[in-house]
Amino acid sequence: MRASISNHLARKIINLPRLSPTHTSGRIIERLVPSRTHVVEYQPVLILQCSPDLVADAADRLSPTHQPLMLIESMEEGTLIWNTEMDNNNDKEIINVGTILGQIVDEDQEEDDDENEDWSWQAYLHDDNDETTKS
């Protein structure tokens, strides 16, 4: 049996990032790029509604149930491929930190070993009224 060429490409696993030491879950509000799109470093890829525990101390939250929105940027370059399971849940479900959302495949690099690595990301508080992310 012949291995597919994608098995030999460097890939970074996209998981729901832990945005603070106490952060446990979130809900994808919007995927900003479609599957099979080439992304570059610093490109926004997700808007995530975080669980209230993103901020550990309830006294520091806007309200006890405050669920801040975060803009997630990829720090990886390559082709982003969302998991098909993500299409089926219509981005409405609460997802636990660490849940695999997809992968970024770098066609220009071959894997050094059999293990895939987690992706690198940056996150920023996001205002739903922020015009910079709207088309």
pLDDT, one tens digit for every residue, the chain (135 residues): 333 444 557 899 999 999 999 999 999 999 999 999 999 999 999 999 999 999 998 888 899 899 999 999 999 999 999 998 766 555 578 999 999 999 999 876 555 555 578 899 999 999 876 554 443
CATH topology of domain 5-130: OB fold (Dihydrolipoamide Acetyltransferase, E2P) (2.40.50)
DSSP states along 20-67: STT--EEEEEEESS-TTEEE-TTEEEEEEEEPGGGSSSGGGSSSTT--
Rounded to 5°, the CA angle 14-34-117 comes to 15
User: Tokens in use for 16?
Assistant: 């729901």
Please provide the distance, in angstroms rounded to a whole number, between the alpha carbons at the two ends of the chain.
Answer: 45
Cβ partners under 8 Å of residue 130, min gap 6: 71
By C-alpha distance, which of 13, 7, 29 is closest to 99?
A: 13
Enumerate the domain spans of the chain.
5-130
Q: How far apart are CA 77 and CA 43, in angstroms?
A: 9
**In whole angstroms, what is the distance from residue 96 CA to residue 35 CA?**
21
Q: How far is 96 from 27, CA to CA, in rounded Å?
A: 9
